[in-house]
Chains A and B, each alone.
Chain A
Amino acid sequence: MAVAATLAEAPPEITLDNLLASPRGRDLLTCIQCGTCAGTCPYGDVMDWPPRRIIGMLREGLIEEVLASDSLLFCVTCYACMAKCPRGLRLTEVLLPLVKEQTFVRLPDVPAELQKALTNTLRYGNPQGESAKKRAAWIPSAGVPVRVLSADPRPVDVLWFVECYTAFHPRGQDNCRATAKVLHALGVDFAVLGSEEKCAGECARLAGETGLFETLTDANLKVFGKYTFNRIVTSGAHAYDALTHVYPSRGLAAPVEHTTPYFARQLAALKPLLTKKLGYTVTYHDSCVLGRHSGMYDEPRRLLQALPGVKLVEMTHNRINSTCCGGGGGGMWLDTFFKAKGQERLADRRVREAVATGADVLAVSCPYEVSRFEDSLKVLGYEKKMVVRDVVELLAEALGGPEGGAQ
């Protein structure tokens, strides 16, 4: 019933051609051309066509000129323009993905790293090109029991959607083990999909590869349909974004949470378990999708402040003003493209600001940020000054016991 209701509410498909005829598109006509979007955009100064100019060209019927440029590959879908627009235009949700999709199909050459990631995601269900069979390879090292639904398909409370960088990246797997420990400590009934899970596809969609996103959505929805669960909790901030903002229009009816706010919601039960004094000064980086797009600024901070022996300090740009790590919208695989255009990695910019706080831990809630910021710390020579930890890794460490969390 819930599925049918969600589908019935789905609007007719909006394309760039019919955009201005749709209610959300008509809003674009109210743009006052103030340029706040271009000013707040992390790459606004290097784009041929920042959002303000795109709207101007669209209104004049000159959008083809915009689509002929690869300039929108610089859009890392950080939601800054949308969050700051004084007219409240849904730039990152509506306009920019449509323009990017058309830019993408017109690209004479898709940048090599992005092409590899997309090809891998289509074939293996993850951008790294790992065998799908290895998606659950971290489980034996978790130290706590983790149920895989294909082996034990009984109904479960929490379907934990692990996501690619968490499941396959060595540092992501630290997050997996930490999440499993915290879920176990809270006595949560949880299970994972193992090799049946595929990339949620958010970055494929926002890189402009919407056909790939649909393929992944169909596959994941089919697997969700095989099992009975009350909610989805995901470690992927971008997966959370796709599962909450796009999957419902394609039929997903279950509630979806991200691990950080999910644990924050259970802080009363969690707090007595957080017994180990950590002794860290921590600064928190707001991920664009959890922060600006979903307004979850307080949840990670509440968790960090509940950790014994942790002092939380803020970067100059925090909450709605947080600056992007550059990994969204396909940016994860465009570092070489950005560099070839003479641009700095946004993660480098962010890490400088984090180090300036004097903190020794940079806490994050998005699995992309671990590798992006760790790379920047190494490149900038700050690797002895600061480490990157997911908020959930810090929670697991504070549970005490050997190796941060065994009960």
Chain B
Amino acid sequence: MTVKVVTDSLSDITSDMAEELGITIVPLTVFFGHEAFLDRVTITTDDFYRRLIHGDIWPTTTQPPPKDFADVYEKLAEETDEILVITLSSKLSGTYQSAIGAKGMIKKECRVEVIDSLTAAMGLGLVAIATAREAQKGSGLDDMVKFVHRATERSHFVAYFDTLKYLAKGGRIGKAQGLLGSMLSIKPMLTIKEGEMSPVTRLRSQAAGMDYLYNFVTGFPNIELLAVEHTTLPDEADKLVERLSKSYPGEIIYRSTVSPVLGTYAGPNAIAVTVLEAEGST
């Protein structure tokens, strides 16, 4: 029986990708006041960003309750006896806790391993995608756990932010706090380090940001998978993909949109790339 791979909606894996690779996505929830939406399920990214920019209610988010994970485990346990769950960083959300908490709630005989990826967005997404591919080769759960730990080391995420307002307001600013309050308008480049948002450097324009992202990718000698995602900059993201596809085969480049829950903190006009280095290249 193949190991079933589960991740959360902050992996930014689209439903098409998930279906193709046999990944189950557990959504977080985004609230506009009392209105609750399941991330990417009952709200589209388009609708979400429209409301984020034009609405007057600041969204809030919450992790899936353990029961949502338990339901997924229960259902998958009909087809398999080994489940591997990879969640976004436990320092950014309690999703990991929910996934762990759900382990004790299943009745069927099934092993569940939960791994804190210490990253998010496609940083997590590419790990989950690589893991699902590995699972299709028929590896057992113990080998898969080791695979995931190595894959998180190989995953490198960097994002261009138009503003830190959303991150600060949502209380997820982490070590990027020092970039707040600049007297000049700056465009922060951030990464996720040890599970927390962390500054990389500062730029002064979006164009400089796009160049930075491109150079970030091309700085890696040996790339297995690539991802480009955005909150509200589809054209810029497409241009970046086009630029990258001159040097890298199109089939390794994943293109996605940042999920509403993550977009609550990233804000509009953000764009990010993730590099999954090939195994053995570091």
**A, B in one complex:** no
A residues with CB within 8 A of B: none
Identify the B interface with A (CB < 8 A): none
